[in-house]
Copies of this chain bind each other. A is one copy, B any other.
Amino acid sequence: MSATAPRQTADERRVAVLDAATHEFARKGLHGASTDDIARAAGISQPYLFRLFGTKKELYLATSQRTIDDLYQVFAEASRGKTGMDALHAMGTAYESVMADRDRLMLMLKCWASCDDPEICEVVRSAWRDLVDLAERVSGESPEAVSTFFSKGAMLTILMAMESFARPEPWSNRLIEGCQSGMTE
């Protein structure tokens, strides 16, 4: 009676698992999320998840890496053909749009917060290195300007995590506005 399930390639399944894992890890973290839930959300059995990724930790690293690689691509595309503060501004806007996806936002924060783990730390460090290099190279701006750019990004990320945009308050609006007025100087 039931139609035979259509088979997919392992790579297609891997993408589905990474999608599900991004959501689960973003919400509950490496230890809080269960491989059972991720497998179910990806539409496969839990043992097959282990066949595709080896261990939970490796899946976590792959998930983080993909999100970070995506972010780099978005930065690169947003700034293409631009220079100076124009380039930084375009990257800032692109960053905001990526982080509007709460899964990516929270996964990023969870990576920062898991830097005690040397493997995760290495992923995060190399991501920052690449992004800083890109921002400096494309914009050609001074270290001070680039530093300010990343500072504001860091604070805005934390403010987004604590839902300061969805649930505005005077103090957080002042931080955000102070941030934007600095941008246009």
What residues on B are CB-neighbors of A152 within 8 Å? Answer: 151
Q: Report the minimum CB–CB distance from A139 to chain B (whole Å).
A: 13
Q: Give the contact-size bracket for chain A.
A: 35 or more
- How far is it, in angstroms, between the C-alpha of A114 and the C-alpha of B158 when the chains are bound? 11
- Which secondary structure dominates where chain A touches chain B? helix
* Copy total for this chain: 2
Asked if A32 is an interface residue, CB under 8 A from chain B, the answer is yes
* Residues in chain B near residue A106, CB distance under 8 A: 113, 115-116
Complex formed: what's the CA distance from A128 to B173 in Å?
12
Contacts of A146 in B (CB 8 A): 174-175, 178
| Candidates B113, B124, B171, B176; contact of A128 at CB < 8 Å | B171
Interface residue? A144 (CB, 8 A): yes
What distance in Å separates the Cβ of A12 from its nearest Cβ neighbour in chain B?
29
**Interchain residue pairs with CB less than 8 A apart (7):** A29-B114, A112-B162, A132-B171, A146-B178, A147-B174, A147-B182, A155-B155
